[in-house]
Amino acid sequence: MPGPNERYIAVRDTFLFAESRRDSGVLNHLLLGDWVRTTGAEVNGWFPVRARGDDGWLPADVLSLTRPLEINFVDIGQGDGCHIVTPDDRVILIDAGIGDNMARFLSWRYNLRGRKVKGVDNIAATDPAALDPFLIDTVIMSHPDEDHYGGLTPIFRNPKLRFNRLFHNGIVERPIAAADKIAGLTYGSDEDIGGYLTISNRKLLWEVIHTDAEMKALSSRHSATTKRLMTAFRSAIENSPNISISSLSVRDGVLPGLSAATEPVFNVLGPFGEDATFQGRDRYCLPKLGNESETKNGHSVVFRMTFGKLSVLLGGDLNTQSEDHLGRKHLGLTADLSTMWKDSEVLRRKGTRRTAAENAQLQNLKTQLDLAVTEGRTVFRVDVAKACHHGSHHFTEPFLQMIDATATVISSGDAESYSHPRPDALGAFGKYGRGIRPLIFSTELARSTRESSPLARHVPIIDGFRERIAAAPSEQERKAIQKEMDAYRDRHVAVYGMITLRTDGDKTILAQKLEVPNGNSKWDIHELVWNDDLNEFEYHPKGAH
């Protein structure tokens, strides 16, 4: 429950006014779900408040005691990073990119640099201003690719943070020496994720790490390894000894530990494994989907999150192999989606050269694909989708048709060699999205390059900090300037490039910060409107009737 002076913005957006009237000066532009603290009693339908660092006035009718759901797709550069705050004020992280951008976002969001924590920076437990470390309830590591988990290490190591639970997909890279190998399993020459059990010419990853005890025993056994994934797990355990670490899969049903009455429901759609028996032991195994990278990516933790009327797909780095696999498992398909689509495209391109038999074959494939899409929408259809694999070309068109999102958010970075988001991916997201003009957001496109944007003004500011550090006459002053520079960089990461979604389960907006304010407006806001006749959310483009 919020404190007696805590409120949240309950409308699409509003302005913070200098005085208790709408024709007074505007101090800030606030969004649905923004936190507000009242600083006095209501006066003629207005509250004096503090919001986003400013003191001003807000009409009482724009405020609520109930926190909406907030999902922030943070611009973490290359990779994925999603920060979620539930209506019960529970913080959930899904991935954190490869660098420290998510760590900087959290530092800014929760004022970690200014937070006095018991036992940290010589703060005594008896200090009346001392606090416990800030609690992040749940972290999900969608899969073991560094551009998803690498940024978690500095977060796990922050002594001002603690964590309750860490979930992963069960595939854990670690050193595997000859003595570690289990007789009867096969090991790839370039793989360090464990041994495979072969059943009827199919390979199942046997050495999946499921339980907290297994993970902590593995971490203890490899306490000296410098492998980055094990370092991330070890950092979590060392800083939060009571953390629970376990795998997630469809057999769990939903993300555990949330209140279905007030919080979103995270239905787990992947990984989708199967039971196997080896040497008298039963194990829930993950099938080999291709090479090591394809298998790790394809078995990403995938959620279909629902809150009120809204649904959101959060899907790691799914690829064509995993879409085929999930199609077979969830929908009972007997043929791969990618194969059916490819075969239909080969026939379609033959045009007038098709024979009568080929026309019949093409029609049969279209019928199968249409049925698969119709059935697939009962599982995968959502209003908003986080694009899998940063807008890569590794997808099948029928799977996008199943998702049928009215808004797609792409997380991509600058320093990468894949040209994400791919032009064909952008085209496909638009073509197979729902509505007149499907929305496509990109954390990279929301933040212009240094050469062409007002963000260039931040470069000399950072250089100025560095010059002051170099010229500082004492270590104490150098540390003070460094802290000031880090706080500035934290805010810069938090402001530009992030796509934020806010919803009370009915009212829903997606917004990004304008690099240059448009009058009093600081946000570019897109609202999804519920259509009772269609029983779905839709986006109303400006000028549409």
Q: Report domain extents, the chain.
A: 1-66, 69-442, 454-495
**Looking up tokens 């269609």, which residue turns up?**
534
Per-residue pLDDT, 453: 44
Per-residue pLDDT, 506: 96
- Residue of 241, 242, 269 lying closest to 255 (CA atoms): 269
What is the rounded CA–CA span in Å between residue 524 and residue 12?
12
Element containing residue 228 per DSSP (H, E): helix 228-239
What is the rounded CA–CA span in Å between residue 16 and residue 18?
7
Low-confidence ranges of the chain (pLDDT < 50): 417, 447-455, 545
Element containing residue 361 per DSSP (H, E): helix 356-380
Residue type, position 201, single letter: N
What is the rounded CA–CA span in Å between residue 95 and residue 148?
5
Instruction: Could you list the beta-strand ranges (E) of 402-520.
Output: 407-410, 439-442, 499-503, 508-518
Per-residue pLDDT, 424: 84
Per-residue pLDDT, 420: 59
**Looking up tokens 């929408």, which residue turns up?**
377
CA distances from 519 to 26, 304, 440, 452, 458 (A): 10, 38, 25, 21, 22
In the β-sheet with 63-64, what is the strand arrangement from edge to edge?
A: 26-31, 13-17, 54-59, 46-51, 35-38, 6-9, 63-64
Per-residue pLDDT, 449: 41
What is the rounded CA–CA span in Å between residue 369 and residue 94?
32
Select the CATH number that applies to the domain covering 1-66 from these four: 1.20.1260.10, 2.40.128.720, 3.40.50.720, 2.30.30.40. Answer: 2.30.30.40
H-assigned helices in 17-151? 101-109, 146-149
Per-residue pLDDT, 225: 92
Q: Are 170 and 140 in contact (CB under 8 A)?
A: no
Q: Are 249 and 272 in contact (CB under 8 A)?
A: yes
Q: Are 409 and 387 in contact (CB under 8 A)?
A: yes
- Domain boundaries 69-442, corresponding CATH code: 3.60.15.10
Q: Are 313 and 281 in contact (CB under 8 A)?
A: no
Q: Which tokens is 68 given? A: 């909406």
DSSP labels, 259-327: -TTTS-EEEEEE---EEEEETTEEEEEEE--SSHHHHHHHT--EEEEEETTEEEEE-TT--HHHHHHHH
* Model confidence pLDDT, tens digit, residues 251-295: 999 999 998 789 999 999 999 999 999 999 999 999 999 988 899
Q: How many CB atoms lie within 10 A of CB 385?
A: 25
**DSSP character at residue 375:** H
Length of the chain: 545
What is the rounded CA–CA span in Å between residue 200 and residue 335?
18
> Which 3 state secondary structure label does DSSP give 81?
strand
* Model confidence pLDDT, tens digit, residues 15-51: 999 999 999 999 999 999 999 999 999 999 999 999 9
List the Cα angle 216/161/299 in 5-degree steps.
Answer: 50
Letter string b/e over residues 488-526, b meaning 16 or more CB atoms within 10 A of that residue's CB: ebbebbbbbbbbbbbbbeebbbbbbbebeeeeeebbebb
- Residue of 167, 142, 140, 154 lying closest to 103 (CA atoms): 154
What is the rounded CA–CA span in Å between residue 511 and residue 520?
15
What is the rounded CA–CA span in Å between residue 229 and residue 226?
9
- Which residues are CB-contacts of 235 (< 8 A; sequence separation ≥ 6)? 152, 153, 156, 157
